[in-house]
Amino acid sequence: MKRTALDGIKQIKDTHLDNLEPEAKEYRIACDTGLYFRVSPTGKKSWQVRFKDNTGKWKWHSVGSYPQLSLVEAKLEASTIFLKLRNKEEVLTKKEIENRKVKEERRSLNSLMYEWLDTKKTQWAEITIKKETQSIEKRILSVFGDKDFAEISRVEWLDFFQNLLRNEAIFNRVKKLVSHCRNAYDLAEFRGDITQNPLNGILKYLDKGSKGNMKHVKLVELPQLVHFIRSYTNQHTAIALELLVLLFPRPQELRYAKWEDFDFDNKIWIKPAHTMKCGIRHVVPLPDQAIGLLKKLEKIRTPSDYLFCSRDSLTQPMSESTLNNALKNLGYRGKQSPHGFRHIASTALNEKFADLEQVIESALAHKKRGVKADYDKATHLEDRIHIMQWWASHVTKIVDHVRLVPHGS
């Protein structure tokens, strides 16, 4: 049926529309006020509504395909649109809705934080990227992820970080998260998405705290703590904590340690570069006491490649919170952190070996900077074998000479 056959027909019906033939070019048939029936050259038929938006601009708005949407239903859709317009409500075309959705997603904090993290992939070690991404997702994006980052006020950020500090007492972690968010906002400011970074100066108004990741007991209190560690109900976690005492690695280095990294014949632990904060492979001499613990762990090892795997997956390392929670359960909340064992060992070694400062720095896997980084390439392995064994033997000696005092005594 040619569209010219509709000339003179006062009331168009579905039977007319069914039989309309396509033409070389698309055409439209007016079926009601502002409602048009569109026929494409391929024969596809659909409904469109033509109206002026709030700015006075004419728009075509698709409301559905035919025959899925009948003439009566299309008229109802058109009436709904014109009712919205009379009520000064916004009516968006399909394309406008899609464009707005893309814009909103780009304006979300989720999008901004992941875009900023992507800029760090060539600067941070893989393990750092993974750790910081998980921290951001858990503490920041779970709360603000879907929000427009430009609409999160300074007060909201201040209240959020202040509550995080007071409820969890994680000063260093909060400080790092503030830094990440502030840097991400710097990126948004550079792009022209915002005119001012809402996190600038926020640290001045947050509670001050000691460096939480370095909380530690005094050396004289260490033997008592080691006794409690050895009595901990989870044997895997107890061994992990005691290895932190003896070898004083960064907690993430131990959490990501795999059996293949240990050479028992040569008594060394080879930490791969991707697990190291500085991104440089590091060799750790193993004292006899550490080898004894590792042999004990080997007898109860899981099928996992990790020394200490996640409770939920053999292919994932132990959670960061496992070691923290163990120390809290032992009564050392706010007194001792997993990272704090490095401080205890460092203090003791510097007092004993005052003339071996660079050896101790190497044992701690501290990255040398400046001229010293260029000229001092020595790993001090022989000296480190000596000081590592001295430290392990010293811990053993002071632990053996202290009687366990029950909690609460």
Instruction: Report domain extents, the chain.
Output: 3-92, 107-209, 219-400
Length of the chain: 409
Rounded to whole angstroms, how far apart are CA atoms 318 and 356? 34
- The domain defined by 219-400 carries CATH number 1.10.443.10: yes
Prediction pTM value: 0.55
* 48-57, 91-100, 116-125, 131-140: least confident range: 91-100
Q: pLDDT, tens digit, for every residue of 126-159?
A: 888 988 999 999 999 999 999 999 999 999 999 9
Rounded to whole angstroms, how far apart are CA atoms 182 and 119? 14
Residue 198 has pLDDT above 90, yes or no: yes
Q: Give the three-class secondary structure for 304.
A: coil
- C-beta separation of 202 from 157 below 8 A: yes
Burial (CB < 10 A; 0-12, 13-18, 19+), residue 209, is: middle
Mean pLDDT on 287-297: 97
pLDDT at 105: 66
Q: What is the fold, at CATH topology level, of the domain defined by 3-92? A: Double Stranded RNA Binding Domain (3.30.160)
Tell me how many helices (H) and strands (E) the chain has: 17, 7
Mean pLDDT on 354-363: 87
Residue 75 has pLDDT above 70, yes or no: yes
Question: In which residue are the tokens 């394309």 written?
Answer: 95
Q: Give the three-class secondary structure for 231.
A: coil
pLDDT at 375: 32
**What is the CATH number that goes with domain 107-209?**
1.10.150.130
Mean pLDDT on 96-122: 83
Mean pLDDT on 305-325: 92
pLDDT at 369: 44
Q: How confident is the model at residue 367 (pLDDT cuts 50, 70, 90)?
A: low
Q: What is the DSSP letter of 16?
A: H
Q: How confident is the model at residue 90 (pLDDT cuts 50, 70, 90)?
A: confident
Rounded to whole angstroms, how far apart are CA atoms 331 and 167? 18
